[in-house]
Amino acid sequence: MRLFSQEDLTKILNTNNAAISELVNSGDIPYKIINGSIRFYPDVIKQWLQKKPDLKMDDQKYLERYKLRIQEKYPETLKAIKEFSDRFSDPKEPKRFYLEAVKNKKLGIVYYVKYLHNGKLLHSKWNTHTNDRDMAEKYAIENRDRLIKEYLEKRDVKKPYGNMYAIFRNYYAPNSPYMQIDIKRGRTICNSSRNSYHNFINKQFIPYLKKHGIKTFEEIDTPFLSRFQNYMLADKKIKSKIIRGVKPQTLNHYISYISKIFDHLIQEGTIKLNPCNSLLSIKIKKSDLKITGCYKVDKLKGVFNKKWKDEFSYLLSLVIYTINIRNSEIERIQIKDFIMIGQYHFLDIPESKSENGERQVPVHDFVYRKIMTYARKKKLDKEDYIFKLPQRKKLGSDTYKKAYLELAGFMNYTEEQIKKENIRFYSGRHFWKTLMSNENLGFDIEEFFMGHKVNENVAERYNHRDKRGEKKLLEKTKKVFQILDKKIFV
């Protein structure tokens, strides 16, 4: 008997290959595999037709099989459709936790949950006590608020003196809890100094501790600090560039920053000895002391009436040579800091590197007008900093150098000359003091306007600056302005 092929059967039944294949795959039609090919017996097909087979197909099965055929035939097109549809799908809400499967003797595995809180992954993880992922997710969701609250409360009451590196890293940080304790005990420190100390500890001292594997305060003894001194004094080669070691005077200051931390720890009972107390200070040689130079008192007359190439350099130089304030104080000047006392303009300096630095310094009308003109042109508000450049926390040495080099040009000084005489931007402070002393303004000018501390103990105890009254202040101010008119302004 001749057997029917699949193609024969499609003609007999007036159908198509896909339909016959579906009947074969589902087992709804009798067939035989002969030599690897599907064949149909005519009599068997006749009997099958007589039985009126139920050819209703399950829609879900039909869709799944049709999907498989489409995937096999058009994979690239389906991939493109998926990428297109993903653009229009709603974003999934994050679970805000992660489940981690950990081996467990009793359950085989058990899930632990780690939470995301304020955009950060918390360090701790919690046992969900189940190996069922759905139950673990339910536990994580239902217990989230409770577990995070307990974790944060436990972290906040953690002993503040447990981690040596945390103490060094945060002692001079803004709003440091350690510094708050010392402030209550009478220690005063301005923000700029605090920031300087903070940078030194984090960028110099802590890396040195880690490099030598220091883990406890007891390991930081006097010999260790002595080796740190040698390290800081030595020149270093970094990427074929020689970086000079710090100067002895600067290094002694650095050690004092560390010593203050040890003093604090002694007060809190964390340690018993301060290793800095028995550490010898580095002796400062005359060759290490380089006194800042300045111009002669009659050299600057009329220089601020000339046209400068750079307006910012002009204003910086004008301020340092006539108002006489520190670089850090210049960078903190806001428009609101200018006040009137009597008939004169003053700059109020509420914060400085020392208690004496908190003062009012006189501002000549010529200088005040120049600053206000610049502020109006830049559309500055009262709270804006006048001398801070965009995207920079500090002006930087390059800005100050540009200012003092342009001034040097008016003096006909070369860069080699000013280097030889050690004239730099800060020389403005030295010039102002030299000028005022030369004009017999009085030895107490440093107290009045420069923010220096009185050296003699008796003078410090009996010279009440706050009781001198406005009259004395204005008398001094008038004399300052007369000297500026005579020696600088035309």
Residues 320 and 456 in one domain: yes
Measured in whole angstroms, the distance separating CA 320 from the mean position of its chain's CA atoms is 30
Q: Give the range among 14-28, 79-93, 327-341 with minimum mean pLDDT.
A: 79-93
Q: CB burial class (10 A; 0-12, 13-18, 19+) of residue 193? A: middle
pLDDT range class, residue 61, cuts 50, 70, 90: confident
Residues 193 and 338 in one domain: no
Q: What is the span of the domain harbouring residue 10?
A: 6-86
Half-sphere exposure of 203 (CA within 13 A, CB side): 7
The CATH number covering residue 259 comes to 1.10.150
Residues 141 and 169 in one domain: no
pLDDT tens digits for range 40-58: 999 999 999 998 888 877 7
pLDDT tens digits for range 218-233: 999 999 999 999 999 8
Q: What mean pLDDT value characterizes the chain?
A: 84
For residue 93, pLDDT over 70 is answered with no
Does any domain span residue 121? yes
Q: Is 73 left (phi over 0), alpha (psi -120 to 50) or beta?
A: alpha
pLDDT at 228: 93
Nearest 5°: the CA angle 16, 17, 18 is 95
Domain boundary among 139, 156, 173: 156
Residues 322 and 338 in one domain: yes
Does any domain span residue 92? no
Residues 206 and 331 in one domain: no
Mean pLDDT (whole number) for 369-380: 91
pLDDT range class, residue 106, cuts 50, 70, 90: confident
- Bridge partners of 478, per DSSP, are none
Domain boundary among 58, 86, 114: 86
Residues 270 and 344 in one domain: no
11-20 contacts, C-beta under 8 A, 24 or more apart: 12/45, 18/69
Angstrom distance (rounded) from CA 323 to CA 316: 10
Does any domain span residue 1? no
The count of structural domains within the chain is 4
Does any domain span residue 360? yes
Angstrom distance (rounded) from CA 414 to CA 418: 7
For residue 388, pLDDT over 80 is answered with no
Residues 108 and 205 in one domain: no
The answer to whether the CB of 178 falls within 8 A of the CB of 167 is: yes
pLDDT tens digits for range 139-158: 999 999 999 988 887 766 55
Does any domain span residue 297? no
Residues 277 and 208 in one domain: yes
Residues 115 and 71 in one domain: no
Strand, helix or coil for residue 306: coil
Residues 257 and 320 in one domain: no
For residue 341, pLDDT over 70 is answered with yes
Does any domain span residue 298? no
Does any domain span residue 27? yes
Residues 215 and 119 in one domain: no
Residues 107 and 197 in one domain: no
Domain boundary among 288, 323, 357: 288
